[in-house]
A = this chain, B = another copy of it.
Amino acid sequence: MKIRVINPNTTASMTEKIGACARAVASPGTVIDACQPDAGPVSIESHYDEALAVPGLLAAIRAGEAEGCDGYVIACFGDPGLLAAREVATGPVIGIAEAAMHAASMIGTGFSVVTTLSRTCGQARHLADRYGMSAHCRRVHACELPVLALEAPGSDARQRIIDTCRQALAEDGSDVLVLGCAGMTDLCDEVADATGVPVVDGVAAAVKMVEMLVGLGLRTSKHGELAAPPAKPYLGWLSAFGHGPAS
């Protein structure tokens, strides 16, 4: 089974870290193909960044289809482009917020999300609504770290994340933590040790969710809203996206 794990931003060190964490949980026989778009923002910290990460993400999925990928992970906690990606792909596509929230709901009675900047909390809450997780998601907390601060050696990022996690548990009455950024994927064990509760990292969870669906022979339904997009021309500098993936 070949799973393409797409880091939707264009920072290579983050792609590498995400790939390593994905490989660490993949089953024997699963090949992790970690990649990033060839164009777009170096980090995703606004609706603007998120919208502009999607073209590169969709290009990576269309390329993955040509290369025979069995499933895809969108490795940014805003799950950008998820439904568009499902239209384009034949195998399952899972966002890391989606995977983390579903998994967290199965091992506790309420989870807290800890993410980077407070301006991204709204999107996380919105995703909780879309996935049916708004009752399980007690609250979304920001530690006010820019995404790329997680990549900087020598920063106090880890400590701030752990502090925010401890505070979230105390305030929310939650029993599970969800890490709200793909850049935190390597902190899972450390946070679990520090807090004593289960901690869910979306990158790992999404890889296992794709394995689960592929293992069950399940693909995105093409009976309705998520069928391949109607073929049509695209004009201008986006013309390469035209004709639709069905052509």
Contact count band on A: 35 or more
* A224 interface hit (Cβ, 8 Å): yes
Please, what's the 1-or-0 string for A224-240, where 1 marks a CB less than 8 Å from any CB in chain B?
11110110111111110
Q: Is A238 touching B200 in the complex (CB atoms < 8 A)?
A: no
A107 touches B200 (CB 8 A): no
In whole angstroms, how far apart are the Cα atoms of A9 and B234 in the complex?
9
User: A144 near B: Cβ within 8 Å?
Assistant: no
CA distance A219 to B94 in the complex (A): 22
**A229/B45 contact (C-beta < 8 A), A103-B212, A235-B10 known:** yes
Q: A97 in the interface, Cβ–Cβ < 8 Å?
A: no
Total copies of the chain:
6
Q: CB of A213 within 8 A of chain B? A: yes
For the complex, is A145 an interface residue (Cβ under 8 Å from B)?
no
Partner of A50, one of B84, B129, B211: B84
- Does A204 interact with chain B (Cβ within 8 Å)? yes
Q: Is the CB of B136 within 8 A of A132?
A: yes
The 30 listed contacts between A and B (C-beta, < 8 Å) are A10-B234, A28-B28, A39-B237, A39-B238, A40-B236, A41-B232, A41-B233, A42-B232, A42-B234, A43-B232, A48-B88, A48-B244, A51-B81, A55-B238, A92-B106, A98-B106, A105-B131, A107-B221, A108-B221, A109-B225, A121-B225, A132-B135, A173-B224, A175-B224, A197-B223, A198-B218, A198-B219, A200-B216, A208-B211, A237-B237
